[in-house]
Amino acid sequence: MKAISYARYGGPGVLEYGDVREPRLGPDSVLVEVRAAAVNPVDWKCREGHLDAILEPVFPVIPGWDVSGVVVQPGAAVPEFGAGDEVIGYVRTDVLSHGTFAEYVAAPVRTLARKPRNLSFEQAAGLPLAGLTAYQVLYKVLQVKRGETVLVHAAAGGVGSIAVQLAHHLGARVIGTASERNHDYVRSLGGEPVTYGEGLAERVRGLAPEGVDAAFDTIGGETLRVSANLLAPEGRLASITDPDVLDYGGRYHFVRPDPEDLGRLSELAEQNAVTVHVSETFPLERAAEAHRRNEEGRTRGKIVVTVGGQDRS
């Protein structure tokens, strides 16, 4: 099969397009014909070796954790899915090896859910990692409630844009940081945009003089410090990028595969409570270019790699 892989850590130039062996289907996995795979910052961070301490690479590595596609064959111990089912998945395991930037992936059943029927394969590919991150932080870590005020950073990005929609669906008031060019987009998601950078605290205080009930940090560093100082009494703080959040009494969250959470996200998408904005698509052979674009850090929504021709979508 065709796939993208890398045989050593490095920049986008280490990514190679070519033939690799098809994945072996285990009893608890599902063989998925990939239609699309979203690009996430963690993909290039893994490629550069930044997660080497917690994820052992088995070179050559096929990158990618997000997928949407069609079940070809379920494993012997998988009654949940059958051939022809359309699925999405956050296909992360404890090693870097057989990812989703390929024509086929053997995905553990614990990483999968049914694809939302109202989303394209490209949109659906952008839902799992970003959506699960936002869902788990808002619903489980911060436990956002109706009527609360929530601050979401990078509100136009992959995680942030879904977090704004989910918090809005929960009945919260959402303040989202974004560049001025993305303010209308944040408003369309249900958020109140503020420009990030110098003076952020004053701008947020102008909208929420008593502080915010919950802050969702996706940037870290100085942004994390500012967020901690913007909390109302008993306010909660969570970060997905900076473990120093613990020093401020907050919680650090590393997203985990969860089929129930992913299934709930799929339901929310079908209820039009959440959707995915795809800013750009690239064919599989141009995955290195997709990585470069993602590393620029200015993406609205998601960048997606497509596999096969348009007749497969």
CATH number at 172 reads 3.40.50.720
Considering the domain architecture, whether residues 234 and 307 belong to the same structural domain is answered as: no
DSSP alpha helix (H) spans, the chain: 41-47, 121-125, 128-135, 158-169, 183-189, 200-207, 222-229, 259-270, 287-295
The pTM (predicted TM-score) of the whole model is 0.97
Q: How do residues 90-127 score in pLDDT, each as one tens digit?
A: 999 999 999 999 999 999 999 999 999 999 999 999 99
Token pair 């099969």 in the structure block, residue: 1
CA distance 246 to 238: 9
Mean pLDDT of 279-298: 96
CA distance 208 to 131: 26
Distant-in-sequence contacts of 183-186, Cβ < 8 A, 24+ apart: 185/156, 185/161, 185/277, 185/300, 186/155, 186/156, 186/161
Q: How do residues 166-205 score in pLDDT, each as one tens digit?
A: 999 999 999 999 999 999 999 999 999 999 889 999 999 9
> Is residue 218 domain-resident?
yes
Considering the domain architecture, whether residues 57 and 141 belong to the same structural domain is answered as: no
Q: CB count, 10 Å around CB of 178?
A: 27
> Is residue 134 domain-resident?
yes
Question: For residue 189, what pLDDT is reported?
Answer: 98
- High-pLDDT (> 70) share of the chain, %: 98
Contact yes or no for 100/67 (Cβ under 8 A): yes
CA distance 267 to 255: 19
Considering the domain architecture, whether residues 86 and 178 belong to the same structural domain is answered as: no
Considering the domain architecture, whether residues 77 and 55 belong to the same structural domain is answered as: yes
Q: How many domains does one find in the chain?
A: 2
CA distance 6 to 294: 18
Q: How do residues 208-241 score in pLDDT, each as one tens digit?
A: 999 999 999 999 999 999 999 999 999 999 999 9
Q: How do residues 72-99 score in pLDDT, each as one tens digit?
A: 999 999 999 999 999 999 999 999 999 9
Q: What is the CATH number of the domain that holds 65?
A: 3.90.180.10
Helices 200-207 and 222-229: angle between axes, nearest 10 degrees = 30
Question: For residue 308, what pLDDT is reported?
Answer: 79
For residue 45, the enclosing domain spans: 2-127+276-312
Mean pLDDT computed over every residue of the chain = 96
Considering the domain architecture, whether residues 113 and 194 belong to the same structural domain is answered as: no
